[in-house]
């Protein structure tokens, strides 16, 4: 995704100075990385984390927990953490949340939604907060007219 646009914000009017400042702050927080965080690429992570003879390729599963190495890298998972997505269903809405590490390079994340487990469509998640080396991402939708929805997180590591 080199050079790809991650988000576009379009308004139907000229923004006031306070609104413009707010948008600039929002965008700055989206891409902020803690000052002491060293950026980490997949090859460096796998060399330090996965010992031979385990499969260190992005599609491998070095620790045998059913989660591909690329996903463990992208979401900064520990072997005991098997739930990268937090899905909460209420009486009228469903909320999906995940944590995106701020120190990973070359990784793209796309939250996907399906109503039948056959057709998956991308949805737009929003940043909620940046803290402790993670950016919290959030998506919410009304349950009507659909009574059920399924979610997965597509992670791409080059």
pLDDT at residue 8, as a whole number: 64
Where do the domains of the chain lie? 17-156
Q: Would you say 151 and 118 are in contact if contact means Cβ atoms under 8 Å apart? A: no
pLDDT at residue 29, as a whole number: 61
pLDDT at residue 37, as a whole number: 60
Residues 6+ apart with CB under 8 A from 31: none
pLDDT at residue 122, as a whole number: 94
pLDDT at residue 123, as a whole number: 93
Handedness of CA 74, 76, 79, 85 (dihedral sign): negative
Q: What is the mean pLDDT of each run of 10 residues along the chain (158 residues)?
A: 53 78 69 62 85 86 80 72 69 86 86 88 89 86 78 83
Which class in CATH covers the domain with range 17-156?
A: mainly beta
Q: Residue by residue, what is the 3-state secondary structure of the chain?
A: CCCCCCCCCCCCCCCCHHHHHHHHHHHHHHHCCCCCCCCECHHHHHHHHCCCCCCCCCCCCCCCCCCCHHHHHHHCCCCCCCCCEEEEECCCEEEEEEEEECCECCCEEEEEEECCCCCCEECCCEEEEEECCEEEEEEEEECCCCCCCEEEEEEECC
């Amino acid at each position: 995704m080199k050079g790809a646009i991650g988000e576009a914000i379009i308004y139907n009017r000229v923004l006031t100075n306070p609104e413009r400042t707010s948008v600039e702050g929002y965008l700055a927080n989206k891409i902020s990385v803690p000052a002491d965080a060293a950026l980490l690429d997949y090859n460096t992570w796998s060399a330090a984390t996965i010992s031979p003879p385990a499969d260190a390729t992005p599609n491998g599963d070095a620790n045998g927990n059913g989660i591909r190495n690329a996903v463990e890298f992208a979401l900064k998972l520990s072997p005991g953490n098997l739930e990268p997505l937090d899905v909460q269903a209420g009486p009228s809405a469903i909320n999906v949340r995940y944590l995106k590490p701020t120190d990973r390079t070359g990784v793209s994340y796309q939250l996907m939604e399906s109503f039948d487990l056959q057709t998956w469509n991308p949805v737009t998640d929003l940043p909620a907060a940046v803290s402790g080396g993670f950016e919290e991402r959030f998506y919410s939708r009304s349950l009507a007219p659909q009574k059920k929805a399924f979610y997965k997180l597509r992670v791409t590591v080059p």
